[in-house]
Amino acid sequence: MSGPSQYTPKSNFAKWLERRLPIISFVYDSFVAYPVPKNLNYMWTFGAILSFMLVAQIITGVVLAMHYTPEVSFAFNSVENIMRDVNWGWALRYAHANGASMFFLAVYIHIFRGMYYGSYKEPRELLWILGVVIFMVMMATGFLGYVLPWGQMSFWAATVITNLFSALPVVGPSITTWLLGGYSVDNATLNRFFALHYLLPFIIVAIVALHVWALHVTGQNNPDGVEVKNVKKDTVPFTPYATMKDGFAIGVFLVLYAWMTFFVPNYLGHPDNYIEANPLVTPPHIVPEWYFLPFYAILRAIPNKLLGVIALFMSILIAAALPWLDTSKVKSGTYRPTFRKFYWIFVAVSIGLGYLGSQPAEGAFLWVARVLTFYYFFHFLVILPVLSRREKTTAVPNSIAEAVENRGASHA
Amino acid sequence: MRDPRQMFTAFTRMKSLCASTLIGAVMMLTPNLMMFETQASENSKHEEAPKLHEWSFAGAFGRYDTAQIRRGFKVYKEVCSTCHSVKMLAFRNLSQPGGPEFSEREVAELAASYKIKDGPNDAGDFYDRPGRPSDRFPPPFANEQAARAAMSGAYPPDMSVLAKARGHSRGFPRFLLDAIPGVSYQEVGADYVASLLMGYAEPPADVKIPDGQYYNIYMPGRRIGMPSPLSDGAVTYDDGAPQTAEQYAKDVAAFMMWVAEPHLDARKRIGLGVISFLIVFAGLLYFTKRKIWSNVSH
């Protein structure tokens, strides 16, 4: 939190350093003394899990980059070479590929937690928008990374996604050519995708820094959605309370991550990506990675290509407008019974869109996808604004301390 | 659906999830499974789901069966290698742990029995020399065009990662179970290969198979360019295993799985250690966390 530092340097070196670069007090105030609402549940550990995953992806990724060759005739074989002949290469590559999935799993839980507890509301609008930006850069990074092994799905996913830009009027085709570095996905594309895939994670690090900075200014939201009134009564210091709880959550998350990496490493992948890219053979079904499926369903639900692309981007960007769509003064879904019902319907719709994204866009699948796409936007543009005005909320506690006391009383 | 051109494209596809997704849709819409099966067999365009086999390497404790991988290698060497390359497999791999585990001398002798193109030498010429353990298996054809010319247009795919490049949609909700410890299923590629090799049959009366193609119920589109490669007794086993086509199919599928995933044994062994450690570690973190929070109501 902002304000004078809680850190007093003791040693001479710390005093010397503090006068010149107050880095110790910065770390101390941010990760030791920083007050954390004491009513946070385990849904609040995903920030730490995501930070861990970001670092894990960068470390495995940098080592993989030492062995990978971004050239169309070598890329596929260089990945197989990593799997076969590089010491621990199989572990690095499976950890990185599954790490991307775990990263997205965590980010989806993180985002849906924010939606349930109204974490986007005043004064956390910018914090939320930064989160949406991080999510978008993550999506770009995930897509670029999927292209690098240069399998059939890599190649055709790159073709489909870059093709989206050609839907733009007038400038579309030129932009697509510019993105590809040619007229089709080829060596120039692979090379620049590799360069960007290496660059973007560091951009994410920078935006995460802003995200955490903004968080530390406003303080965390919490399951009761009431702001901290009394630091002594409502909060506990970050260390050891939050650090230990986050540590435990990361430990549990790692068990899942290790299971995926060591025992079912290809479960989330597509067998076609073990066939080397071939521009002359189109796979019968081009499907993106699972974490893009809901958006892919929205794209294909709309018969017009340009409108489909607009719907795709809007379905992500609309989240940034949440603070102004949901104007209810009550933050937490805990005290909004009607909102809660619509929230879970929205979760089900999002998962349903994900399933439909994996199916061919035809017949009943297509029509259900259209209904769900309509509902997806309806939730943001109609349900949330109307709910904010009409809904009867239940009594919100006056403070975090009171909420904790009430809960203790009802448990006893 | 009956347009022969469409049927041909279906055949040329390396792999068709289309059928399986359709089957998934039918499964969701018709609770009567029998009805769905007759529909599927009537529609001869779509392939059957691969048969499930017992694999020694399935599950968290699964490991390759050395004897089986050796037999599978023999089948590959004596039958498949006439047309199929394994470009990523080096002779030295055959002596690595978690594979056929031949001795280094056996590998050196085997390698020496192959001719490897090398060069240029000091005179600028390319020449043939006996193979070394560090060499990779030489392909049966110089390039794709040579293969197609020799195989009346068909191109036998490289077998290096083939067992991981084939799948079959399991449909909802089984696909969700396939990731769960205890019931996980990751052997669809091996099941597919073993099924396909035994999947040749007489085509139904209404299905016409063009010359140079064969009817196989597990192949997407049910048409395959490869004639039935295995017959009883074609390969001699010296370990007493039954010398039947079915056994050959299973053994060579296991061998192909090993070629595609040579570090599976190490991966699962290390994975057990990693997961055991993490569970204990997370447990310790939990009790520490509980101790720390014990004096705070939250």
Q: Per residue in A35-64, pLDDT tens? A: 999 999 999 999 999 999 999 999 999 999
pTM, two decimals, is 0.92
Assess contact for B100 and B69: CB atoms under 8 A.
yes
Burial (Cβ within 10 Å: 0-12, 13-18, ≥19) of residue B61: exposed
Q: Which of residues 19-38 of A touch B (CB under 8 A)?
A: 38
Tell me which chain A residue has its CA closest to the CA of residue B185.
A264
Give per-residue burial for B216-234: e unless 16+ CB within 10 Å, then b. Answer: bbbbbbbbbbbeebbeeee
What does the pLDDT look like over A352-379, one tens digit per residue?
Answer: 999 999 999 999 999 999 999 999 999 9
Kindly report the nearest CA distance between residue B13 and chain A, in angstroms.
7
d(CA A75, CA A96): 16
What does the pLDDT look like over B41-88, one tens digit per residue?
Answer: 444 568 999 999 999 999 999 999 999 999 999 999 999 999 999 999
Task: Give B298's pLDDT tier (boundaries 50, 70, 90).
Answer: confident
Give the Å distances, CA to CA, from A12 to A16, A19, B243: 6, 11, 81
| % of chain A at pLDDT higher than 70 | 99
> Higher pLDDT residue, B30 or A270?
A270
Residue B264's nearest CA partner among B55, B62, B42 is B62
| Residue B40 pLDDT exceeds 50 | no
Q: Using alpha carbons only, what angle is made at residue B174 by residues B168 and B179, rounded to the nearest 5 degrees? A: 90
pLDDT at A411 (0 to 100): 63
What does the pLDDT look like over A300-329, one tens digit per residue?
Answer: 999 999 999 999 999 999 999 999 999 999
d(CA A82, CA A37): 45
| Residue B14 pLDDT exceeds 50 | no
Weakest-pLDDT range from A113-122, B9-18, B58-67, B181-190: B9-18
Task: Give A409's pLDDT tier (boundaries 50, 70, 90).
Answer: confident
Burial (Cβ within 10 Å: 0-12, 13-18, ≥19) of residue B143: exposed
What is the mean predicted confidence (pLDDT) over A123-148? 98
Burial (Cβ within 10 Å: 0-12, 13-18, ≥19) of residue A355: middle
* Disruptive mutation site among A73, A285, A366 for chain B (greatest number of B CBs within 10 Å): A285
pLDDT at A3 (0 to 100): 65
pLDDT at A408 (0 to 100): 82
Domains of chain A: 27-286 (1.20.810.10), 293-400 (1.10.287)
pLDDT at A318 (0 to 100): 98
Give the Å distances, CA to CA, from B195 to A220, A274, A353, B23, B52: 56, 20, 34, 19, 8
Could you identify the residue written with the tokens 């940098």? A62
d(CA A358, CA A364): 14
Sketch the domain layout of chain B as residue ranges: 4-63+156-262, 268-298
pLDDT at A377 (0 to 100): 98
Put simply, the answer to whether A272 touches B275 (Cβ < 8 Å) is: no
Task: Give the torsion through C-alpha atoms of B100, B105, B110, B113, to 10 deg.
Answer: 180
Instruction: Write down the mean pLDDT value for chain A.
Output: 96
Kindly report the nearest CA distance between residue B65 and chain A, in angstroms.
18
Whether the CB of B293 is below 8 Å from some CB of chain A: the reply is: yes
Task: Give B15's pLDDT tier (boundaries 50, 70, 90).
Answer: very low
H or E element, residue A129: helix A125-147
Assess contact for A307 and A314: CB atoms under 8 A.
no
**CB contacts, 8 Å: A300 with chain B:** none
pLDDT at A2 (0 to 100): 53
Kindly report the nearest CA distance between residue B235 and chain A, in angstroms.
29
Task: Give B152's pLDDT tier (boundaries 50, 70, 90).
Answer: confident
Task: Give B38's pLDDT tier (boundaries 50, 70, 90).
Answer: very low
Helix, strand, coil % in chain A, rounded to nearest 5: 70, 0, 30
What does the pLDDT look like over B160-179, one tens digit per residue?
Answer: 999 999 999 898 889 999 99
d(CA B90, CA A166): 44
pLDDT at A5 (0 to 100): 85
What is the mean predicted confidence (pLDDT) over B87-92? 98
Assess contact for A287 and B18: CB atoms under 8 A.
no
Task: Give B8's pLDDT tier (boundaries 50, 70, 90).
Answer: very low
**CB contacts, 8 Å: A251 with chain B:** 278, 281-282, 285-286
**CB contacts, 8 Å: A84 with chain B:** 88, 93, 262-263
**CB contacts, 8 Å: A261 with chain B:** 271
pLDDT at A321 (0 to 100): 98
How many angstroms separate the first and last alpha carbons of chain B?
Answer: 63
H or E element, residue B4: helix B4-12
Task: Give B35's pLDDT tier (boundaries 50, 70, 90).
Answer: very low
pLDDT at B25 (0 to 100): 40
Other C-beta atoms within 10 Å of A58: how many? 17
Kindly report the nearest CA distance between residue A382 and chain B, in angstroms.
32
DSSP string for A158-207: HHHHHHHGGGSTTTHHHHHHHHHTSSSSSHHHHHHHHHHHHHHHHHHHHH
Put simply, the answer to whether B179 touches A248 (Cβ < 8 Å) is: no
Q: Which of residues 264-293 of A touch B (CB under 8 A)?
A: 264-267, 270-272, 274-275, 281, 283-285
Burial (Cβ within 10 Å: 0-12, 13-18, ≥19) of residue B212: exposed
Fold assignment, B4-63+156-262: Cytochrome Bc1 Complex; Chain D, domain 2 (1.10.760)
Assess contact for A121 and A247: CB atoms under 8 A.
no
**CB contacts, 8 Å: B263 with chain A:** 83-84, 90
* Disruptive mutation site among B264, B285, B287 for chain A (greatest number of A CBs within 10 Å): B285
Whether the CB of B146 is below 8 Å from some CB of chain A: the reply is: no
d(CA A339, CA A328): 10
Whether the CB of B282 is below 8 Å from some CB of chain A: the reply is: yes
Give the Å distances, CA to CA, from A123 to A119, A216, A332, A399, A403: 9, 12, 14, 17, 21
pLDDT at B21 (0 to 100): 39
What is the mean predicted confidence (pLDDT) over B261-287? 98
What is the mean predicted confidence (pLDDT) over B252-264? 98
